[in-house]
Structure 1
Amino acid sequence: MPPLAIRAYTATSSLGRGLDAHATALAASRGGLTPNDITSAPLACWIGRVDGLDTEPLPGEWSAWDCRNNRLALLALRQDGFIDAVRAARDRYGASRVAVLLGTSTASIAATEEGYRRLEHGRMPADLHRPPLHTPHSLAGFVAGFFELEGPCLTIATACSSSAKVFANAERMIRLGLVDAAIVGGTDTLCDSVLFGFNSLELVSPEPCRPFDADRQGISLGEAAGFALLERPRENDDAPLFIGYGEASDAHHMSTPHPEGLGAELALRDALERAGLAPDQVDYINLHGTASQKNDEVEAALISRSFPATTRASSTKGFTGHTLGAAGIVEATVALLAMRDGLVPANLGARKPDPGCGPHFAWESERQDVRYALSNSFGFGGNNACLAFARPGAVA
């Protein structure tokens, strides 16, 4: 696959706003999980909550799109010079030549929940009678409108792989000449449907999650937003590169991974082949690592049989929680920061490593030269994705 330049990227999560906040937290092995205070009824768990969403509504001209999800999206867009980078791309290529490809699993469902709680004679209350808001496409519609873009605008909703799969869509559109640049990423926020829904599946941990710990009790949920701007590289480019992706749908079970990791392995091998990488060239893998019993068991076995011990691996969901449809972009950002800063983040939360984990696991943070990194995102229904990145100058 011809590589694509990552012209700009950013993330906002419970670790803070923008790249510097995330880099600082990762270097200090400081997580962002706090006791749940967001559900309408008590639920004993820990969450990765982003501060400020309940007090920073969208400005007047965007008030029709106002909800926690779109507030978080705008908060993230305002970090790391991302807005300026997108506007420069729009000026360079034209409004119809920049795509908006975003992933989300719940979109603005919190606003819909609120509307149903406050029904007026069986109808949405007047302040929430905004049909475009109550759709899965709310996020992408808002972002495209914010930037005044007229190119392809697509929402991907494949659960936890949503904002990873958008990278693949961007590569295909740019390679086929449909667009010259693409905004990729995603946003998800917390609400009753998310927290009580996962709790009904008996997946939510009563304590901060412990990925790959022998005594792990389940996931911690988080909210986050992240974005990247992809375009073809320029001569003497110093941008990090998106060099490969793999996708697979094994459809083994609605909420449980294939016991041998069939779909995950197909996605992983596809990504390596597209990137032109051998397993021993991969320096770091950001694992999906949800801290659920089956996911961690299957993923640990996949890493052990696929990579040499020199490849470092960790899950960062102990830092942010599982950010659902935003997990792909947030963890891609972590992989990019690992290359930028030469830091393999700790597998935060694990106190007693699962015996199934091999020597690849970085239980504490490590200073390493990271030239090539992968990011795994495995969603419900066997929607699996793996992304491959290279440090500037690593690809001739």
Structure 2
Amino acid sequence: MNYIQTQKFSDVYVSCKTMMPFNRNTITALNVLVYMMKAKTEKMDSKQKLASTLNLAYGTKISYGLTSFGDLIQVDVRFQFVRPDWIEDENYVNKIKDIMDQALFHSVLDEENFKESVYLLKNRLLAQMDDPANLSCMYAFEMAHDKHSISIPVQGSLKDLETLTLKDVKQIYTLYMDMAKHFYICGYVDQELYDFIDSLDSHCPFISERTLLPKVETSYKTFEKDISQTCISQVYSTGVDISSADYEAELLLCSILGQSQKNLMFDEIREKNSLCYSISSSIIRFDGAILIHTGVNRKDVTKVLNLIETQMDRLLNMDYDDAYLEIAKMGFKDRLVGGLDQALSLIAQAFLDDLLHRKLTTEQRIERIMKVTKEDISRVALQMNLASVAIVAENENEL
């Protein structure tokens, strides 16, 4: 267990993280399971009872999340409640303990809950299929490498949902219950609550499993849809592992390219040439990949793709103003410092350190960022490879 003890927050934040294999044939069942876990427990066996119990515990909150980390998927169950030393109710700690126990270990997996959860997931997936931005990202990931975990949709698939059974969900629940549980506390708790949470922790190190996206021949495909704006998603492999000495250079490359408040793609493609509605880049750090997403008119697709390639060349050739690098560095520094005042950021950073078996202070992280040079970024740019280009475009007759 990792206890980030601090008096700066009025609430306590507890996160139970469970790492599971990230497989195409189980991810849809896992999504349904999360919906079912949210819905009810043995004692809180309806949405009304669940809401009432949380309200009576001074507005305690529970949330659930699924996040991929390379070849693993994380189930994160989070609790937020008022710190016990601020509450005079003698039974308050017992209420929190009971809520945590119910949410973590006493889900109700019956047919009624299953059908409702399938319905909710189906509606979410259908909505995502109607969103061209989401659709282009999904296609780009699928096309990047069909044998790599990057191609697996974290949210599951409609095709698998059609044949999913309650038995499938119960099997994944059994697997979930058997996997190690890692607890993080941020805030201030009394000894009784600390001992309770500590008793739930598996007290074992994380195992990190990840495979970098390999260099492949570029896959390029256009999908037509009845929409008003074309969306382009491109996936690049970087060959940089999150534990590599080049990781900070990869972060800054992505920031300068299309993430920082001042970046090459926005300045050149949107501001200077007015060729897109939106453009950005984001890093997929456990896969060694970068995603570029652009909203354009279909007639401008080729021009935009050429200009994106030009910005890549500028990074390789160090052909950009030093201000881009300095602004990107300051952005990371500000986020790292700002994260010290955010409980969830503190937990996320502690988890990453545990997962990667490292221990870095905020000062050390900032130092590593500030040391990055244009030459370091150029070295990362040299090994980047365009894996896929997925375009969800307006129908030809709408142009």
TM-score between the two structures when normalised by the length of structure 1: 0.25
Greater helix content: 2
TM-score between the two structures when normalised by the length of structure 2: 0.25
